[in-house]
Amino acid sequence: MLLTTNLMLLTTSLDFDDLSRILTTSLDFDDLSRILTTNLMLLTTSLDFDDLSRILTTSLDFDDLSRILTTNLMLLTTSLDFDDLSRILTTNLSFLFQFTMIQQDALESLVASFISTAAGHVIITAKLPPRTQALVDSCFPSQNQALTIYQWKHNKRPTRLQLLEMVKGANGILCMLTDKIDLELIEAAGPQLKIVSTMSVGYDHINITLLSSRNILVGNTPGVLTNATADIASLLVLTASRRAKEGLDAVVNRKWGSWDPNWLLGAEFTGKTLGIVGLGRIGAATAARLIPFGFSKILYSGSKPHSRTEQLLSNIAMAVSSFNNSYSPCDSSFSINFVPTDTLFSDSDVVVLCCALNDATHHLVNCSNISLFKHGAILVNPARGPIVNPEALLAGLCSGRIFAAGLDVTHIEPLTSDHPLALHPRCFILPHLGSATIQTREAMSDLALANLASGLLGKKLYHQVSA
């Protein structure tokens, strides 16, 4: 009450650092949200842009910021001029596309509490990236006799039988996306199993419904791999469109002859249509990276439209157009539309699959609809292999319906080197490297460990999957 009725006095009497500390360190989110949302007009008129932006974007996590922005968008748009509002929305684009990562000191404190007070048997099914592994190693030796930890540290992944034997008696499991968590494994572990934490954003390897019915918590690691996966998706679009696989083969196998004006001609994107199946965080970040290459239209499909993301991507297109026009006049038209997936397939020059794998998306690209694709389309899959029927893709490549494909995932992994898709000159395949950067893998393993420790300590998970 004191803060809300005297906010004008606070904003005019205190400098930003003092006000920020009062607003963000002394109040829980509900109180802060009430102050910000009921007094946003006062904040926007009493604080300059830099101060307001710092309060909104550096002190709140994504969900909190999103609630403030979306519930008060009318107030923001009437209280701020376009330049200030645009700077809040567009200069913090990377923030809007990420979840809050756990800070290292917070993780170290959590692990210390876990080592000293947690009870039970913990299984970690792989050696973790160095930073997180050092925290796991710090658990040994421990004075806490009630806690035991077993970690699989071999380079080769455990077999199914080894995994089933390993999890016996486990209270918590930190698993990889290659570990199938199903009824057989849950029964092998036993009724005391409390949490499964997967070091992945996807959880199609986990029977979520089964675990939920048995009150077993499931944690995952969304958001932290958005940028790395979007980078790989963009790489695949470029390598497929410019026939990089054939070019590399020409260099390595001495096929590079004299210059030929018709040799290895690829496709460019100016004025073309980009199709994104699933405009979630990775889909949106991929689109944001590809817009500067000249796409004039984006089509996207999924469970619902994303008007806020549409506006953010349109802002990027506007900035790119302004930059291009400063050098030479060009067509600056741009549109983004939510459409059915079949329409996306038929009208897009480049199709990027950024959806989750589930019953509805299994073989989303199949022998029945491959003929819907625009002739000469490029298909890219950085998501999950089984979203694409391999026979359908091969047929599309061989017929020319699909000009080229870029895959970071395949229906079976690892794909054998003699598979027809691996041998096709216009199918560029990477061995599931979407999240394979040092920073991303460390952030993923940090979150996976934090989820595991939180679950066993009876705390709220940083990211929990619900059925």
DSSP one-letter code for 216? -
Give 408: exposed, middle or buried? Use CB within 10 Å, 0-12, 13-18, 19+: buried
Q: Is the peptide bond before 390 cis (omega within 30 degrees of 0)?
A: no
The pLDDT of residue 385 is 97
Long-range pairs for 392-396 at CB < 8 Å and ≥24 separation?
Answer: 392/363, 392/365, 392/366, 392/367, 393/365, 393/421, 393/427, 394/420, 394/421, 394/424, 395/367, 395/370, 396/370
Looking at the fold, whether 199 and 237 belong to one and the same domain comes out as no
SS (H, E, C) 428-451: EECCCCCCCCHHHHHHHHHHHHHH
| Cβ(203)–Cβ(357) below 8 Å | no
**Total domains present in the chain:** 3
Question: Which range marks the domain in which residue 51 is found?
Answer: 2-96
Q: Are residues 68 and 180 in the same domain?
A: no
Tens of pLDDT, residues 238-297: 999 999 999 999 999 999 999 999 999 999 999 999 999 999 999 999 999 999 999 999
CATH code of the domain containing 412: 3.40.50.720
300 shares its domain with 395 = yes
- Cα 214 to Cα 194: distance, rounded to the nearest angstrom: 9
In this prediction, residue 50 carries a pLDDT of: 52
Per-residue pLDDT of the chain (467 residues; tens, 9 = 90+): 444 444 444 444 445 455 445 444 444 445 554 555 444 444 444 445 455 545 554 444 444 454 444 444 444 444 445 555 455 444 444 444 444 467 889 999 999 999 999 999 999 999 999 999 999 998 877 778 999 999 999 999 999 999 999 999 999 999 999 999 999 999 999 999 999 999 999 999 999 999 999 999 999 999 899 999 999 999 999 999 999 999 999 999 999 999 999 999 999 999 999 999 999 999 999 999 999 999 999 999 999 999 999 999 999 999 998 888 877 776 678 999 999 999 999 999 999 999 999 999 999 999 999 999 999 999 999 999 999 999 999 999 999 999 999 999 999 999 999 999 999 999 999 999 999 999 999 999 999 999 999 999 999 999 999 88
Cis peptide before 414 (omega within 30 of 0): yes
Residue 466 within a domain:
no
**DSSP one-letter string for 174-209:** EE-TTS-BSHHHHHHH-TT--EEEESSS--TTB-HH
Residues 203 and 142 in one domain: yes
Q: Are residues 206 and 328 in the same domain?
A: no
Domain stop point among 96, 125, 152: 96
Asked whether residue 267 is assigned to any structural domain, the reply reads: yes
Specify the pLDDT at position 140. Answer: 78
- In sequence order, the 6+-apart residues with CB closer than 8 A to the CB of 336 are 297, 298, 299, 300, 310, 313, 314
Residues 262 and 398 in one domain: yes
Residue ending a domain, among 96, 127, 146, is: 96
Q: Do 218 and 230 share a structural domain?
A: no
| 237 and 213 share one domain | no
- Within a domain: residue 463? no
Task: Flag whether 245 is in a domain.
Answer: yes
Give a yes or no: residue 326 inside a domain: yes
pLDDT of residue 83: 55
Are 235 and 286 members of one domain?
yes
Residue from 424, 425, 432, 426 nearest 385 by CA: 432
| Choice among 121, 306, 411, 432 that is catalytic | 432
| pLDDT in the model for residue 102 | 78
Largest CA distance in the chain: 79
Check residue 62 and give its pLDDT: 45
* 434 part of a folded domain: no
Domain shared by 238 and 193, yes or no? no
Is 463 catalytic? The answer is: no
Closest C-alpha to 355, from 280, 406, 408, 456: 280
Domain end residue (candidates: 96, 116, 132):
96
In this structure, are 63 and 197 located in the same domain? no
Helix (H) or strand (E) holding 316: helix 307-325
For residues 217 and 233, membership in a common domain is answered with no
Helices 16-25, 29-38: inter-axial angle, 10-degree rounding: 130
Whether 416 is in a domain gets the answer yes
Q: Is residue 173 part of a domain?
A: yes
